[in-house]
Amino acid sequence: MESRPHVALIGMMGSGKSTVGLWLARSEGLRFVDLDAAIEEREGRSISEIFAADGEERFRDIEQEVLAQCLESSEQLVVSCGGGVVLRPENRAQLRDRAWVCWLRASIDTLGQRVSSGDSRPLLGDDPIADLTAISSARSDLYTETAHEIVDVDGLEAEQVAEQIRRVWPRPVATT
Ligand code: S3P
């Protein structure tokens, strides 16, 4: 049997996880899962609707369930996770155990340019830069704790980030 840990991308909203994940999956011939999209598909409603109707804790419960299901897959996956996936210790432990985890680290400038005010992101209010700054500093240690590798994405296109990940990703080796 071959050991097949998944690749999981973590980082703040706007760090490019979904676009990079898609590039990476395509270039490696792996299946791509966007965790937020998987949640929306399961629930039949958008992330914003879940937050508005049921609140953040319920969203985190669903996120935890969908992540666990995803990581149980016997097919090797590239998974892009929502920015807050690291908030729960269970998720951090699962990710580290079952995936090779890469943090796409971005400056607030980069995040601010990519997360426009028109985006439907329930955690951002009238001052997205202030919110991104507060959220990023509150989560920085959690991203560090969860990641096996860090890639700095400032100034890079998604394709270039995917290429950097491919260079540092320790591919699974056959175990028997
Ligand atoms: C969140 C990030 C979002 C989404 C939800 C909560 C967060 O995903 O999961 O709005 O807590 O940072 P992206 O990081 O893909 O935008």
Task: Find the CATH number of the domain harbouring 39.
Answer: 3.40.50.300
**Which residues lie closer than 8 Å to 74 by C-beta, 6 or more apart?**
4
Sheet holding 6-10, edge to edge: 31-34, 77-80, 6-10, 99-105, 149-152
Pocket perturbation via mutation, ligand 1, pick of 36, 63, 65 by most ligand atoms within 8 A of CB? 36
What does the pLDDT average to over 154-162? 97
Flag whether 137 is in a domain. Answer: yes
Contact 112 CB / ligand 1 (< 6 Å): no
Domain that holds residue 134: 6-166
Is 175 part of any domain? no
Domain presence at residue 174? no
For the chain, percent of residues with pLDDT exceeding 90: 87
Does residue 171 form part of some domain? no
Best mutation site among 121, 135, 143 for ligand 1, i.e. most ligand atoms within 8 A of its Cβ?
A: 121
Residue 176 in any domain: the answer is no
Overall domain count for the chain: 1
* Confidence at residue 174, expressed as pLDDT on a 0 to 100 scale: 55
Please indicate, yes or no, whether the overall pTM of this predicted structure exceeds 0.85: yes
Q: Please provide residue 32's backbone torsions phi and psi, each rounded to the nearest 5 degrees.
A: -105, 135
Q: How far is CA 158 from CA 60, 121, 163, 172, in A?
A: 27, 21, 9, 23
Domain membership of residue 60 (yes or no) is: yes
Q: What is the pLDDT of residue 84?
A: 98
Q: Please indicate whether residue 62, judged by its CB atom, sits closer than 6 Å to ligand 1.
A: no
Please name the residue that has the structure tokens 């999209």: 37
Ligand 1 atom at shortest distance from the alpha carbon of 11: 14
User: In this predicted structure, what is the pLDDT of residue 60?
Assistant: 98
